[in-house]
Amino acid sequence: MTHTFDPTSLREYDIRGIVGEALGPEDARAIGRGFATLLRRAGGTRVAVGRDGRLSSPMLEEALIDGLTASGCDVVRTGMGPTPQLYYAEATLEVDGGIQITGSHNPGNYNGFKMVFQHLPFFGEDIQKLGQMAADGDWEEAETRGAVTDYDIVDIYVGRLMAGYAGGSYRIGWDAGNGAAGPVIEKLVKMLPGEHHTLFTDVDGTFPNHHPDPTEEKNLADLKKLVAEKNLDFGLAFDGDGDRIGAIDGQGRVIWGDQLLSILAEPVLRIDPGATIIADVKASQALYDRIAELGGKPLMWKTGHSLIKTKMKETGAPLAGEMSGHIFFAQDYYGFDDAQYAAVRLIQAVHVIGKSMNEIKDAMPAMVNTPEMRFQVDESRKFAVIDEVLARLEADGAEVDRTDGARVNTPDGWWLLRASNTQDVLVARAEAKSQEALDRLLAQIDAQLAASGLARGPQAGH
């Protein structure tokens, strides 16, 4: 028996696609067969399986489990919940791997799979290998099917989120965006001191109120209204599967991913002075400067949650984060991206710093920057364009960081151009101290794109 995946669904960090077009039960079954085969060959026998609140998730879960058990793995079903709840199950239960069925922050008609293999991220070549194994029919056949058990982990997970909590008492708004984190948030706020107001904690895979992506400011409108009406201290928002966090202060100003990291770094570095803290190449220079000012070692690394987790293990970093709101704690935690845990640590950080969230935001350096700008480019050209840009910059003697694409430092500030690992787009960002300086940086990006036959057209923006 063999299976052919839609090639667009096998991505760098996960498997994802539109259900009924690029993804269906047969794909889920083949993923189960391949994953179980790899795990058994590595000496493993048990897999934790969780799912988000999308309408297609139960169907995909059933087919995935059928594939896992057919190839001889036992399955521990942890039920509906955020992706970090499944990561927690994989880290703490007697299992050898974990799979979460989730479409993350994509629209409701998408779904997919995020995987952990023997406590390590499963990505890149691992995912391509599943495709090759399916095409070859290279699957273990079990003499007896694996067993399936259910394990209700949500209360244990919420208890772990609160373990050792020593934060203050605040008035906070929470927006779960009808995503899978809703029930966890409801339980969490009952355990936290202070006053809490929640929005859209009922799980609804059609996302009737707003798209569950807190990194797009328009999706924070309901939270801003709640914080303003109730005069709250700050607000927190979560993506569709609870592995990315967004935040606003009491005035409704967005606290971006790199700014959250600069707040979270302060208590972390008090406990672990001189530690390495990792951020992705899209993060502000202000963050790297702040980490150094706090006595930490800032490390710029490639964008992508699997790449960051791998780098954390390598460097022993207690904290890492991305502009996209993935925050990873290894200090007193497991090193995976967990927006619910990041929320708890953020409340503690505000308490430790001893200022209001508004005051913390006020003290941040004023930078003028762009959101992420995306330009459609043919898949076959995207990495080639970056190579061309790097060659031209080198010839010009520019100051370039090549960690992930081209990040160029100039007296005006910095700009970045990189190829997305998950889409056929180039991603650009720029940051300066004034609008005039930012315009000069954008002109440099335009010139580089034009030199490679591309234009920064009206598709700029998120």
Contacts of 297 (CB under 8 A, 6+ apart): 274, 275, 276, 277, 291
The active-site residue out of 9, 56, 57, 104 is: 104
List the structure tokens of 459. Answer: 């598709």
Instruction: Count CA atoms within 13 Å of residue 458 on its CB side.
Output: 0
Are the C-beta atoms of residues 422 and 13 closer than 8 Å to each other? yes
358 SS3 class: helix
Asked whether the predicted pLDDT for residue 28 surpasses 80, the reply is yes
Q: What's the full length of the chain, in residues?
A: 462
Number of H helices, E strands in the chain: 14, 22
CA–CA dist 75, 33 (Å, integer): 13
Are the C-beta atoms of residues 257 and 264 closer than 8 Å to each other? no
AA letter at 113 = F
Contacts of 53 (CB under 8 A, 6+ apart): 80, 178, 179, 180, 182, 203, 204, 205
- Average per-residue pLDDT for the chain: 95
What mean pLDDT comes out for the span 39-59? 97
Q: Checking DSSP bridges between strand 170-175 and strand 194-199, what pairing results, if any? A: parallel
For the chain, which domains are there?
7-152 (3.40.120.10), 156-362 (3.40.120.10), 368-451 (3.30.310.50)
What mean pLDDT comes out for the span 151-164? 97
CA–CA dist 398, 300 (Å, integer): 18
Asked whether the predicted pLDDT for residue 461 surpasses 70, the reply is no
Query: How distant is the alpha carbon of residue 136 from its chain centre?
Result: 32
pLDDT in tens, 181-191: 999 999 999 99
> Which one, of 334, 448, 339, 342, lies nearest residue 398 by Cα?
448
Are the C-beta atoms of residues 62 and 99 closer than 8 Å to each other? no
- φ and ψ of 240, to 5 deg: -60, -30
CA–CA dist 351, 41 (Å, integer): 48
Are the C-beta atoms of residues 327 and 279 closer than 8 Å to each other? no
CA–CA dist 248, 217 (Å, integer): 10
The pLDDT, as a whole number, for residue 105 is 86
pLDDT in tens, 341-353: 999 999 999 999 9
Query: How distant is the alpha carbon of residue 87 from its chain centre?
Result: 13
> Which one, of 202, 135, 190, lies nearest residue 161 by Cα?
190
Instruction: Count CA atoms within 13 Å of residue 153 on its CB side.
Output: 28
pLDDT in tens, 7-26: 889 988 889 999 999 999 99
Q: Give me the residue label for tokens 């303003």.
A: 228
What are the beta bridge partners of residue 48? Answer: 76, 98
Residue 104 among the catalytic residues: yes
What mean pLDDT comes out for the span 260-271? 98
Cα→Cα distances 16→11, 28, 64, 131, 336, Å:
7, 11, 14, 13, 20
pLDDT in tens, 397-424: 999 999 999 999 999 999 999 998 877 8
Segment holding 78, helix H or strand E: strand 74-80
| Strand ranges in 330-386 using DSSP code E only, listed in sequence order | 368-369, 373-376
What mean pLDDT comes out for the span 412-441? 94
DSSP string, 58-69: HHHHHHHHHHHH
The pLDDT, as a whole number, for residue 29 is 98
